[in-house]
Amino acid sequence: MSEPENKVTRRGVLAGAAAGGAALAAGAAKAEGDPLITEVQPWAQGLGEGVDATPYGLPIEYESDVIRRNVEWLTADTISSINFTPIHALDGTITPQGCAFERHHSGAIELKKEDYRLMINGLVDRPLVFTYADLERFPRENHVYFCECAANTGMEWAGAQLNGAQFTHGMIHNMEYSGVSLRTLLNEAGLGAAGDLADKWVFVEGADASSNGRSIPMEKALDDVLVAFKANGEALRMEHGYPVRLVVPGWEGNMWVKWLRRIEVTDAPVESREETSKYTDVLADGTARKWTWVMDAKSVITSPSPQMPIPHGPGPMVITGMAWSGHGRITRVDVSKDGGKTWETARLGTQGDSKALTRFYLDIEWDGSEMFLQSRAMDETGYVQPTKTQLREVRGLNSIYHNNCIQTWWVKENGEAENVEVS
Nearest distance in Å: CB 153, a second copy = 20
Nearest distance, CB of residue 111 and a second copy, angstroms: 6
Q: Kindly state the smallest distance separating residue 238's Cβ from a second copy, in Å.
A: 4
Closest CA to 105 of 197, 172, 205: 205
Q: Give me the least distance between CB of 56 and a second copy, in Å please.
A: 5
Which residue, 122 or 164, is less far from a second copy as judged by CB?
122
Indicate the residue among 158 and 193 with the shorter CB distance to a second copy: 193
Residue 160 or 194: which CB sits closer to a second copy?
Answer: 194
- Residue 299's φ and ψ, nearest 5 degrees, are -155, 165
Helix (H) / strand (E) containing 144: strand 140-148
In this structure, the number of other CB atoms found within 10 A of the CB of residue 89 comes to 18
Partnered with residue 380 across adjacent β-strands are: none
Q: For residue 332, give the 3-state DSSP assignment.
A: strand
The residue among 320 and 399 lying less far from a second copy, judged by its C-beta, is 320
| Spatial separation of the C-alpha atoms in residues 348 and 331, rounded to whole Å | 9
Residue closer to a second copy by CB (options 150, 263) is 263
Three-state DSSP class for 235?
strand
Q: Is 255 exposed, middle or buried (0-12, 13-18, 19+ CB in 10 A)?
A: buried
State in angstroms the smallest separation of the CB of 189 from a second copy. 8
Could you tell me the sign of the dihedral formed by the alpha carbons of 360, 365, 366, 372, in that order? negative
Q: Say if residue 86 is preceded by a cis peptide, omega within 30 of 0.
A: no
Give least dist CB 403 to a second copy, A: 23
Measured from the CB atom, the residue of 109 and 420 that comes closer to a second copy is: 109
For a second copy, which is the closer residue by CB, 209 or 268? 209
- Residue 363 Cβ vs a second copy, minimum distance, rounded to whole Å: 5
CB-side neighbour CA atoms (13 Å) of 352: 34
Residues 401/292, Cβ–Cβ less than 8 Å: yes
Which residue's CB is nearer to a second copy, number 27 or number 382? 27
Q: To the nearest whole angstrom, how small is the minimum distance from the Cβ of residue 282 to a second copy?
A: 28
Calculate the dihedral angle through the C-alpha atoms of 71, 145, 333, 291, rounding to the nearest 10 degrees: -70
Q: CA-based angle 326:328:391, to the nearest 5? A: 45
